Structures are given as structure tokens and as C-alpha cells.
């Protein structure tokens, strides 16, 4: 539900945006001294009218937080990826099957994280990774569906992201996925809540600025799932969307909802060309 808004200009004046404070604008992300991550590149064509380059959220974090992601031993999100590896080998449901029974190791799925959400022809819809996992659980493994952004789901996503690190994000937005992409774009630019703020107000108009103590990034999701130091756990894309809309003082959509599926497709496409870098570390 959209709540009657107050003046956006008054909100921004009250929050006081400050001059950009970037930890190190020339920093480059190389994980374990081996995996080179593209954290800055030319914007995809569909963004050419609003920005020239796209930047990973990693570039907006402090030196200390950046360093945590540069070594798997220091990255607490990798504990989730390790749990995901164990889940991949485990039997889940009544059929006695594990993910490993159909897939030749996690590395065989190294292209998944970079291309989702994507159109599923058989289902006639755009699916996220978690939607696809739940389909496997219920139709092939005889297991119950997992709650969206559950611990198990995020661990599996972290595992899939970890084996895809360095792969360019390449989400398809034309063809049958186009209508869902357009819906996500509309949500991205819609102002919500008493603060009457859209995703674009923070992540397109004011990235690099400070909103109180928060250093605004472009809101790229190539690093999800992300381990947030704020709540000391892995966080999913839809849970982050929910938190952002809630912060505008509006009722929000639920993780796994069609609205957030569409928004994920659109936001993911804004990062086409950046590297998959999850599980990332953020504040």
C-alpha cells in the first residue's frame, strides 16, 4: 500500500547528503590472490541514458570491509557457502535424492548465478534461483518447499555464487522476459511511503553520497547473497528489497512475491558486465 507522501525535497534536506567518501576509488578486487573481479565497467546499453559506468557495492565499503572479501578465510559468508556444499550432497526428501545426483558437482552450475533470474519456458514465467531450487525439491526430490530467503536457500545461493565468482553477470531481458523486466523497472522508479522515495532516488541519483552514516552505493546485487556485518548473517536480495521499501515507511512486498521477482530481474540487469562476487561482505 502506498502511503500519502510528504515533500521529497524536504526529506532529502533533512537527511543531509554529504560529499562522496569512497574508501579507495582505485581499489581492485582480487579474491584469494587469484580470482579477478570486475567491480567497475561500462553501463549496459539500457542504462546509457542515466549513467556511464556501473560500480559494485564493494567499492563503497571501508578498507577493512573490502579486505574481508579478498580472502575466503576472512569472509564469514564463505561459511554459508560451505554449508551449501554440504546441502548439495545431502538427501532432502522422500525420493532419497540429492542435488549431486542430477548435477556433476557445484562447478557444473558455475553459469547459474550470472544468468538468473531467467525465463523458464516450461513454467511460462521468470524464475529466480530460489524458485528453481524449490521446483527441484518438490517435483524431483519429494521434499517440502523452502521458505524464501531461508537459511538453507541462502547457503545454497552462496555456494552457487562462490563457484561463479569472476563470471560476468549476463541476465537476459528481451524475449518472453521483457514484460517482467518492464514491471521491475516500473517498481524501481516508483516512489513509496511517507518519504516518497524510489530505488532510483538513492541508488541512481545519490550514489557515492552519505545519507546519515550510510554510504550509498548503486544498489548492485552482483554480490548477493551478502554477509552483512550489521546483522551478522547472510542476507538475500528480496529481504534487502523489503528492508529498503520498509525504510520509506510504506507497506512492502514479500520475499518471493511476483513484484520482487520482477524487481530482481530489473536490478540484476543493471549489473550486466560486473562480475559475480558473492558471497560478498557489506556493512
> Do 89 and 98 form a contact (C-beta atoms < 8 A)?
yes
Q: Are 105 and 162 in contact (CB under 8 A)?
A: no
3-state secondary structure of 235: strand
DSSP strand pairing (17-18 vs 210-211): antiparallel
Q: Is 240 annotated as a binding residue?
A: yes
203 is in an annotated binding site: yes
Question: Is 103 labelled a binding residue?
Answer: yes
Please tell me whether 238 is known to bind a ligand: no
Q: How many CB atoms lie within 10 A of CB 32?
A: 11
Q: Is 270 annotated as a binding residue?
A: no
Q: How far apart are the first and last CA of the chain?
A: 29
Whether 40 is catalytic:
no
CA-CA distance, 278 to 237, in Å (whole number)? 12
* Catalytic one of 12, 158, 244, 263: 244
202 is in an annotated binding site: yes
Residues 6 or more apart in contact with residue 104 via CB below 8 angstroms: none
Beta strand pairing call for 53-55 and 214-215: unpaired
Scanning the structure block, which residue is given the C-alpha cell 578465510?
73
Give the residue numbers of the binding site for heme c: 99, 102-103, 136, 199, 202-203, 244
Binding-site residue ranges for substrate:
240
Q: Which residues are catalytic?
A: 244
Amino acid at each position: 500500500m502506498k502511503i500519502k507522501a510528504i515533500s521529497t525535497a524536504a526529506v532529502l534536506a533533512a537527511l543531509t547528503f554529504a560529499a562522496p567518501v569512497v574508501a579507495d576509488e582505485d581499489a581492485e578486487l582480487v579474491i584469494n590472490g587469484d580470482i579477478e573481479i570486475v567491480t567497475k565497467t561500462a553501463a549496459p546499453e539500457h542504462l546509457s541514458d542515466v549513467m556511464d559506468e556501473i560500480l559494485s557495492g564493494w567499492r563503497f565499503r571501508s578498507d577493512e570491509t573490502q579486505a574481508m572479501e579478498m580472502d575466503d578465510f576472512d569472509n564469514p559468508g564463505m561459511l554459508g557457502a560451505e554449508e551449501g556444499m554440504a546441502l548439495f550432497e545431502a538427501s532432502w526428501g522422500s525420493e532419497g535424492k540429492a542435488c549431486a545426483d542430477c548435477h556433476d558437482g557445484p562447478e557444473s552450475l558455475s553459469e547459474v548465478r550470472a544468468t538468473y533470474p531467467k525465463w523458464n519456458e516450461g513454467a511460462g514465467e521468470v524464475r529466480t534461483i530460489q524458485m528453481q531450487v524449490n521446483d527441484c525439491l518438490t517435483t524431483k526430490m519429494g521434499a517440502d518447499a523452502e521458505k524464501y530467503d531461508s537459511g538453507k536457500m541462502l547457503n545454497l545461493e552462496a555456494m552457487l555464487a562462490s563457484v561463479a565468482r569472476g563470471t560476468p553477470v549476463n541476465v537476459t531481458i528481451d524475449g518472453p522476459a521483457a514484460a517482467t523486466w518492464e514491471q521491475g523497472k516500473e517498481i524501481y522508479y516508483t516512489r513509496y511511503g511517507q518519504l516518497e522515495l524510489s530505488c532510483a532516488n538513492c541508488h541512481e541519483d545519490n550514489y557515492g553520497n552519505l545519507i546519515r552514516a550510510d554510504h550509498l552505493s548503486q544498489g548492485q546485487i552482483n554480490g548477493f547473497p551478502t554477509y552483512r556485518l550489521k546483522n551478522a548473517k547472510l542476507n538475500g536480495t528480496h529481504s534487502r528489497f523489503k528492508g529498503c521499501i520498509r525504510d520509506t515507511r510504506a507497506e512492502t512486498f514479500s520475499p518471493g512475491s511476483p513484484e520482487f521477482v520482477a524487481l530482481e530481474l530489473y536490478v540484476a540487469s543493471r549489473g550486466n558486465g560486473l562480475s559475480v562476487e558473492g558471497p560478498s561482505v557489506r556493512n
